[in-house]
Structure 1
């Protein structure tokens, strides 16, 4: 008969990670990081070329705050994907190291 109990989370996680999966994930993450880097520099250059509004101090403060938040969010996303890339490459190296240790008597 069929077992009605679903597999636990620990049983689902038992699948091992391969070097190819790490390399594929790192390639995707690095391409996103590079794209976000170019987007961040483009945003920063666009903001630098446009003058701040000089109508009132409140408008200037809001403009500076919005510019800072937009560039900061783009930079954060860029850094996140860059760190994920480094982590995936390190995980791939670790999996290769563990595979060589297991095959070596």
Structure 2
């Protein structure tokens, strides 16, 4: 009989190897997402700027300004992160190509 307390063993799979094509593909995807988020951020900021706050209450004005700043800031952070990831993946792909070329010349 099988022991009910034993956990099933996961199948061992070979890890995916890195190659320059995968790095460049990831950079293109990440860059595209970063550009899309950046475009959305510009659209949101333009929309906020075109609709002023209509209130005489100072607390409402401050909270609204803080929320608008937070929303635009979160989108800017997302666009920046995706942009940096795209640059890093592109640099990794270039580094891998250079390493392969130097190994081919040495050996």
Q: Indicate the TM-score class for this superposition, using the shorter chain for normalisation.
A: 0.7 to 0.9
**Mean alpha-carbon deviation: is it higher for 48-57 or for 71-80?**
48-57
Partner of 2:72, secondary structure, is helix
What's the CA shift for 1:6?
A: 7.8
Map of 1:46 onto structure 2: 47
- Equivalence for 2:61: 60
Shift of 1:96: 0.3
Runs (4+) of structure 1 moved beyond 6 Å?
4-7
- Which structure has the larger Rg over C-alpha atoms? 2
2:91 aligned partner: 90
What is the TM-score with the length of structure 1 in the denominator? 0.84
Structure with the higher helix share, 1 or 2: 1
Question: With structure 2 as the length reference, what TM-score do the two structures score?
Answer: 0.82
Q: Does the CA-based 8 Å contact 1:53-1:59 persist in structure 2? A: no
Find the counterpart in structure 2 of residue 29 from structure 1. Answer: 30
Number of aligned pairs?
98
Does 15-24 or 87-96 show the bigger shift? 15-24
Query: Quick check: 1:53–1:63 contact (8 Å CA) kept in 2?
Result: no
Structure 2's unaligned 5+ residue stretches are 1-8
Distance 2:22 2:35 in 1: 20
> Structure 1 residues 5, 37: CA separation in 2 closer, same or farther (over 3 Å shift)?
closer
